[in-house]
């Protein structure tokens, strides 16, 4: 409402008003009454007589016009310059003979370099024998239309304008009116100045008319755009203005009257309770305002309708949208089942157990079948639920919901049985459709029902993710769920506030026991929650595509720390984990290159360990990225080899320098013959490929010896050394005995 009122108060909508008025004028188009004719200095006149012709030509034109019986003659320009003396004298005599019947033009304007007024007027000899009239006009914004004054201040003298003089109307300075632009310019009698000079026009065409003489040729630069009329010479403004003033009294009522009308309709539509009623009110409102606009135009009353239309349109759109959403919320369009919002309006205490059914493959059903098939699927599921539970079934965006009265002690078995019933194939139009489901239950009656709906759905989603059929929501997890929802923003804060640190776990050459490197491991100590396990935030960051900033932090910290020990240990390499998901773009290469340049560390002292907790999306691009890193001199390691996606296929297809055995093969190697066999064969395979192998998870001396005997190159694990801050690591690397010290 404030926006629309401001639009009216400041006239921001005037260009749109002009466009609407122009459209209405096209509909209302009517002919001129013919009482005023235009004598145009057109192209023929310029060619035959010239623009700066002698005043003798004007004298002859006036004599011809009055001989043909015209009433008055008005000039749409000022004779402000002297011409040839003979022509001026002849013109003065003619003006004197027809005194009070010829009006010369005066144009007033504000001087550009002073506070005074500039008046463009006829020379004094002409003013002594002729009357004068102002021919000013004022254009609306964007030059879409024009207004005319009734009077002007000409050097302290009140002077009526041309249109006001023709219509014999009085006015005050500054009083503007809008001519009726529905009067078609093409219907105003128009004659060539040259033809009048040649006396080629008959008495019948001119007798009794008021004549306005002015430029109409295009190169005289007096063409102006009027919406609905096109480009119009300024001389026609006065003709249309004169007819408007003769037919009525133009008034300007501003924007308030239609605004009050549409405010009434706005209040009415706000009380509507259905889209049908809102639509009826909308049609009525636009109909009334349209009829009002045509009526006020016809009686020469200028009214601004844009603020009123803006007010009602905003309110109507918002109200219609709200009603549409409300109706959609009340009943789902595809299934025709009541919405879960209806369920949310009931009392939570009356629902001991709320069940959510997640349709795990419903997206595939929606993509494959029509709305009619989907409706039948939903209705069949509803029928089966009602058959087993006698409950009302509601639909949400992500599944079905109902409240069950089955005792809590029996509910799990009941839902497992119901799941078998719901999972049975649904036959629709000769097709068998298999539905994959998961059930979630919330039985906490102390919370609001809307919150319980979300909890039940969350339990169903967790059941689906873990491959379970039924899961009960644990109210004790509420705080943990809230923490997980804010985890990423908390992680950004942790980086900014230096809550993160990097720990270093030593890597030793198994034959010599010499420290040759370390793995950089990120650590997070939250000011409230304390130490956050790495798996809790790293995997979440990967799922939410927020690993880049975390990885860059570890890379930079590891490089800067490593520089402090390279003077004493030039062959030392620091290993940093990078997710395989980051290899599918140029970010890794750009970041590593920039950080190497910023820190001054050699690429040969950096190992990138490719971890694949999520699979590579683009194997070819990842291969290219790894190859480019190796070309830079960076060492590439395949992390967690033997688990997940890191298999022998990686050895075959990816460029690398070493593989890192997963700890599940090394931690029990001293007690498991199968692990021994697998590790020994892997070591031989890697060495045959001329690559290095790192054993992670070394927990005891026996494992260390076995791995060393197998020819494993490098070892890492708690027996070698636990992760430690860099200050402790600097001391550790200098110890004479490095195996099993910590």
pLDDT digits (tens, 9 = 90+) for 648-687: 767 777 888 999 988 888 888 888 888 899 889 989 988 9
For 362-381, write each residue's pLDDT tens digit: 778 878 888 888 888 888 88
pLDDT at 533: 86
Mean pLDDT value across residues 172-190: 94
Write b or e for each residue in 380-400: b if 16 or more Cβ atoms lie within 10 A of its Cβ, otherwise e: bbbebbeebbebbbbbbeebb
pLDDT at 203 over 80: yes
pLDDT at 328: 61
Mean pLDDT of the chain: 87
pLDDT at 742 over 50: no
Q: What is the 3-state secondary structure of 233-280?
A: ECHHHHHHHHHHHHHCCCEEEECHHHHHHHHHHHHHHHCCCCHHHHHH
Q: How far apart are CA 578 and CA 610, in angstroms?
A: 5
Write b or e for each residue in 185-222: b if 16 or more Cβ atoms lie within 10 A of its Cβ, otherwise e: beebbbbbbbbbbeeebeeeebeebbbbbbbbbeebeb
The two most distant CA atoms of the chain are separated, in Å, by 133
- For 698, the token pair is 């070394």
- For 580, the token pair is 């395989």
Listed in sequence order, the residues at least 6 apart from 27 whose beta carbon sits closer than 8 Å to its beta carbon are: 294
pLDDT at 662: 85
Instruction: Answer for the pair 523, 536: CB distance below 8 angstroms, yes or no.
Output: no
pLDDT at 28: 94
pLDDT at 447 over 70: yes
What is the residue whose two structure tokens read 């965006």? 397
The H-or-E segment that residue 597 falls in is helix 587-599
* Long-range pairs of 562-571 with CB within 8 A, sequence gap ≥ 24: 562/601, 562/605, 562/606, 563/599, 563/600, 563/601, 564/726, 564/730, 565/730, 565/733, 566/601, 566/602, 566/605, 569/515, 569/733, 571/516
pLDDT at 142: 85
pLDDT at 70 over 60: yes
Q: How far apart are CA 425 and CA 557, in angstroms?
A: 56
Instruction: Answer for the pair 56, 91: CB distance below 8 angstroms, yes or no.
Output: yes
Direct distance between the N- and C-terminal alpha carbons of the chain, in angstroms, rounded to an integer: 73
pLDDT at 458 over 80: yes
Q: Range with the lowest mean pLDDT among 187-201, 270-284, 440-454? A: 440-454
pLDDT at 348 over 70: no
DSSP helix/strand/coil, 80: coil
Listed in sequence order, the residues at least 6 apart from 143 whose beta carbon sits closer than 8 Å to its beta carbon are: 224, 225
pLDDT at 615: 61
pLDDT at 741: 36
pLDDT at 493 over 80: yes
Q: What share of the chain is helix, strand, coil (3-state, %, to 5)?
A: 50, 20, 30
Write b or e for each residue in 243-278: b if 16 or more Cβ atoms lie within 10 A of its Cβ, otherwise e: bbbeeeebeeeebbbbbebbbebbebbeebeebeeb
451: which strand partners? none
- For 348, the token pair is 């939570």
Q: What are the Cα distances from residue 226, in Å, to 19, 42, 144, 150?
A: 10, 20, 5, 20
**Cα dihedral 56, 62, 66, 68 in deg (nearest 10):** 90
Indicate the pTM of the whole model: 0.49
pLDDT at 384 over 90: no
Q: Range with the lowest mean pLDDT among 416-425, 469-478, 632-641? A: 469-478
Instruction: Answer for the pair 105, 132: CB distance below 8 angstroms, yes or no.
Output: yes
* 637 burial via Cβ count (<10 Å: 0-12, 13-18, 19+): buried
- For 358, the token pair is 């997640």
Mark residue 635 as left, alpha or beta (left: phi above 0; alpha: psi -120 to 50; beta: remaining).
beta
Q: How far apart are CA 271 and CA 37, in angstroms?
A: 56
Instruction: Answer for the pair 393, 402: CB distance below 8 angstroms, yes or no.
Output: yes
């Amino acid at each position: 409402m404030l926006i629309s009122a401001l639009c009216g108060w400041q006239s921001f909508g005037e260009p749109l008003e002009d466009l609407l008025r122009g459209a209405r004028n096209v509909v209302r188009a009517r002919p001129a009454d013919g009482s005023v004719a235009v004598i145009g200095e057109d192209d023929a006149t310029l060619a035959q007589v010239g623009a700066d012709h002698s005043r003798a030509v004007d004298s002859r034109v006036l004599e011809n016009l009055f001989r043909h019986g015209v009433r008055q003659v008005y000039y749409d320009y000022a004779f402000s310059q002297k011409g040839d003396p003979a022509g001026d004298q002849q013109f003065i005599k003619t003006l004197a003979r027809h005194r009070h019947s010829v009006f010369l033009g005066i144009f007033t304007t504000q001087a550009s370099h002073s506070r005074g007024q500039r008046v463009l007027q006829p020379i004094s000899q002409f003013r002594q024998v002729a009357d004068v009239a102002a021919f000013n006009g004022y254009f609306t914004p964007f030059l879409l239309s024009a207004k005319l004054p009734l009077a002007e201040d000409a050097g302290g003298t009140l002077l009526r304008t041309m249109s006001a003089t023709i219509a014999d109307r009085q006015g005050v300075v500054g009083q503007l009116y809008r001519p009726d632009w529905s009067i078609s310019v093409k219907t105003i009698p128009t004659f060539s100045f040259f033809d009048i000079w040649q006396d080629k026009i008959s008495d019948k065409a001119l007798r009794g008319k008021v004549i306005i003489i002015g430029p109409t040729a295009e190169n005289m630069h007096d063409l102006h755009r009027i919406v609905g009329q096109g480009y119009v010479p300024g001389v026609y403004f006065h003709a249309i203005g004169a007819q408007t003033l003769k037919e009525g009294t133009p008034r300007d009522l501003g924007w308030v009257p239609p605004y009050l009308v549409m405010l009434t309709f706005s209040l009415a539509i706000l009380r509507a309770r259905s889209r049908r009623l809102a639509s009826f009110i909308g049609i009525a409102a636009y109909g009334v305002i349209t009829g009002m606009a045509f009526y006020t135009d016809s009686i020469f009353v200028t009214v601004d309708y844009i603020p009123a239309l803006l007010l009602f349109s905003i309110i109507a759109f918002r109200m219609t949208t709200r009603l549409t959403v409300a109706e959609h919320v009340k009943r789902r369009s595809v299934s025709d089942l009541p919405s879960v919002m209806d369920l949310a309006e009931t009392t939570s205490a009356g629902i001991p157990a709320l069940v959510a059914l997640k349709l795990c493959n419903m997206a595939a059903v929606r993509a494959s079948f029509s709305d009619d098939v989907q409706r039948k699927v939903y209705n069949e599921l509803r029928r089966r639920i009602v058959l087993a539970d006698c409950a009302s079934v509601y639909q949400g965006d992500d599944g079905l919901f109902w409240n069950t009265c089955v005792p809590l002690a029996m509910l799990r078995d009941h839902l497992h049985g119901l799941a078998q019933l719901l999972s049975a194939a649904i036959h629709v139009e000769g097709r068998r459709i298999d539905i994959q489901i998961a059930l979630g239950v919330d039985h906490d009656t102390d919370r609001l029902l809307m919150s319980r709906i979300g909890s039940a759905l969350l339990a169903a989603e967790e059941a689906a993710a873990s491959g379970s059929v039924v899961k009960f929501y644990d109210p004790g997890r509420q705080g943990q769920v809230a923490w997980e929802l804010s985890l990423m923003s908390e992680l950004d804060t942790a980086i900014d506030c230096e809550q993160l640190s990097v720990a270093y776990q030593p890597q030793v050459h198994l034959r010599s026991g010499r420290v040759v490197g370390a793995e950089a491991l990120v650590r997070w100590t939250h000011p409230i929650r304390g130490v956050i396990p790495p798996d809790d935030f790293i995997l979440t960051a990967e799922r939410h595509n927020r690993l880049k900033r975390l990885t860059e932090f570890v890379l930079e910290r590891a490089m800067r720390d490593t520089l402090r020990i390279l003077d004493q240990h030039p062959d030392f390499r620091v290993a940093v984990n990078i997710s395989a998901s980051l290899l599918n773009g140029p970010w890794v290469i750009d970041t590593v290159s920039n950080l190497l340049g910023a820190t001054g560390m050699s690429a040969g002292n950096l190992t990138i360990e490719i971890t694949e907790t999520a699979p590579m999306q683009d194997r070819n691009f990842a291969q290219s990225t790894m190859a480019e890193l190796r070309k830079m001199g960076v060492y590439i390691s395949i992390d967690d080899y033997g688990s997940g996606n890191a298999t022998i296929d990686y050895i075959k297809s990816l460029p690398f320098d070493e593989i890192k055995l997963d700890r599940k093969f090394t931690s029990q190697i001293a007690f498991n013959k199968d692990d021994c066999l697998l590790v020994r064969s892997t070591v031989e395979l890697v060495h045959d490929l001329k690559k290095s192998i790192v054993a992670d998870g070394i927990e005891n001396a026996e494992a260390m010896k076995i791995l060393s005997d197998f020819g494993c190159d490098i070892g890492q694990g708690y027996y070698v050394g636990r992760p430690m801050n860099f200050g402790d690591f600097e001391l550790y690397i200098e110890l004479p005995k490095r195996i099993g010290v910590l």
